[in-house]
A and B are shown apart, each in its own frame.
Chain A
């Protein structure tokens, strides 16, 4: 009886204490293999927006250099969180981290742009006509104010198009998404009501609609639901032969998403840390909902048991992505980084250190 009681209480105390310390502390600095990393395997997680591009580049990288890059597209929010938890070598996000997120991270994090993408509006209508939207109409649809496809406002914008008497089913993201961030950032800029609520963010309180996981989920759901409308990265519409609407930009022109219009949108002054928003661009032939997508790493790579070899491997990978990897962007519908962006990215890469020694 005594033995039992003793062991029971000892075990219980030990385990509870361990979990209290593990649980309450978000800055967990325990050791072990995974964060030490393996220089032949790199682990990344995050945005679904650039996933087709990354999966191609990483596949080529594996063939050329024999290094396996395991990238899981769990959404930008997931990428940021896992990087903050130090469970991955790099994170990926379309939404640049906010000042608040950066201050809550255990150490400074840098943003390296990897390519340019466009968030397009796709929909499922009989015969898939080409549609045009103005910012007000777009916001009203996603706010749930315009409920049917044959609403006067949509017809006014698209004369000659046969719009059915069908309810509009809005499809948005159910997970924490950089794509959502980009889209809501745009809507907040062009629509005062959207700016108040729901505002800008990766995970919104959507006034209406269905949620799906990842760009993949949204395009999948729109593809199958008649009368639905959703926002996805251009490549998902291209690969699935889904339509993309032309949007009216700041200058009043109706622009379709393309490599040209994406690159035009990025022709602005870029800040040194590359945390910039390209939406609602002033460029006359720029597409209004473009964004860089970023790879995120810690500025100081010597954390936990990380080896210099694996830190260098991660840096080499990112270096590859912004240089040789860029040629895979275009065939997939992403715009390659403009030269100015590549230069800024190189500067940022040079600032990443391991034990105060730059890695590249």
Chain B
């Protein structure tokens, strides 16, 4: 009798420990996230206090004069990300329709699905490396033809690489929502004599609008934070880009370039403030995207 009671107690203890461990681990994740946010916030305080809103509309980033205006990088970030989105969206929708509607199963589907997955798997630094040696000479030739200085690097080059990199992200979500359109809607349209084209454009796309939008949002979030490929291809200048072929800088690439050597409180703090900004914006976009998906799949 005692033996069994003892064993039961032991098991109870192990149960408790196990359950508490589970709970603890979940708490840990939340705490880590909050800690990340607060670390960023606290370390940005010196520059938030010193510069305030000026940080966002001052177009001079001059460490010598201790002036830190992040406008050029904000512009660079937005320009490259939105340009990348514009370039990749037609293709991502095409691929999503291809995989979600025309070729849902079979060898062709498998091949292209794997290719898109592989695109997502290539590390950023390799994209940058390839871009340096393949894209940049091509862009240089274009620039020479257009009578522009043949930098090769710049906003355009970075946007093209970004577009390639974010394609898989919007495709994966869009493909899913397109393939989940209820058959009876499509069948009803077919039975009324609609062509496939008409079913896609008049039934599927409107139905999946929010899902597609969420896919684009997620791709945008990804583009905003992308660092390595952009650093290698954007030209790294502190000026506001004047055209799509001019060099520029994004917030992420400035941090990568200057963080390990920023001396001085305000300098370091300004860089961290950019990190905070990126964190907040990307988080909001991601949460928005996920909300849209949730509403869609319900």
Interface residues of A (CB under 8 A from B): 3-4, 7-8, 11-12, 15-16, 19-20, 23-24, 26, 74-82, 84, 101, 104, 167-169, 174-176, 197-213, 221, 224-227
Contact = CB atoms under 8 A, between A and B. Distances in A.
A135 B257 CA distance: 29
A209 B238 CA distance: 9
Contacts of A167: 148-150
B140, B239, B261 — most chain A CB neighbours (10 Å): B261
B35 interface: yes
Interface in B103-161: 136-137, 140, 144, 148-153
A81 B260 CA distance: 7
The 3 closest A-B pairs by CB, nearest first: A211-B236, A77-B261, A78-B261
B34 A12 contact: yes
Interface stretch (B61-69, B91-99, B204-212, B215-223): B61-69
B35 A175 contact: no
Given A84-B263, A205-B238, A206-B237, A174 B257 contact: yes
Interface stretch (B22-30, B79-87, B286-294): B22-30
B65 A199 contact: yes
Contact of B151 (A19, A26, A210): A210
B257 A175 contact: yes
A97 to B, nearest CB: 9
Interface in B23-79: 23-24, 27-28, 30-31, 34-35, 38-39, 42-43, 45, 60-65, 67
Nearest to B136: A224
B262 interface: yes
A101 B263 contact: yes
A117 B30 CA distance: 52
**Residue among A12, A80, A167, A174 with the highest chain B CB neighbour number at 10 A:** A174
18 contacts: A7-B23, A12-B31, A15-B31, A16-B35, A75-B260, A77-B258, A81-B260, A169-B149, A176-B258, A204-B62, A204-B63, A204-B64, A205-B238, A210-B235, A212-B236, A224-B152, A225-B151, A227-B149
B51 to A, nearest CB: 16
The A interface is mostly helix, strand or loop, or mixed, namely mixed
A4 B31 CA distance: 13
B265 interface: yes
B24 A7 contact: yes
Contacts of A77: 258, 261-263
Nearest to B40: A23
Contacts of A208: 237, 239
Given A12-B31, A175-B261, A212-B236, 4 more contacts: A199-B64, A203-B63, A209-B237, A213-B231
Given A74-B261, A176-B262, A210 B63 contact: no
Contacts of B45: 24
B142 to A, nearest CB: 14
A213 to B, nearest CB: 6
Contacts of B35: 15-16, 19
B264 interface: yes
A4 B61 contact: no
B20 interface: yes
Nearest to A24: B42
B34 to A, nearest CB: 6
Nearest to B28: A11
B145 to A, nearest CB: 13
Interface in B196-255: 231, 235-239, 247, 249
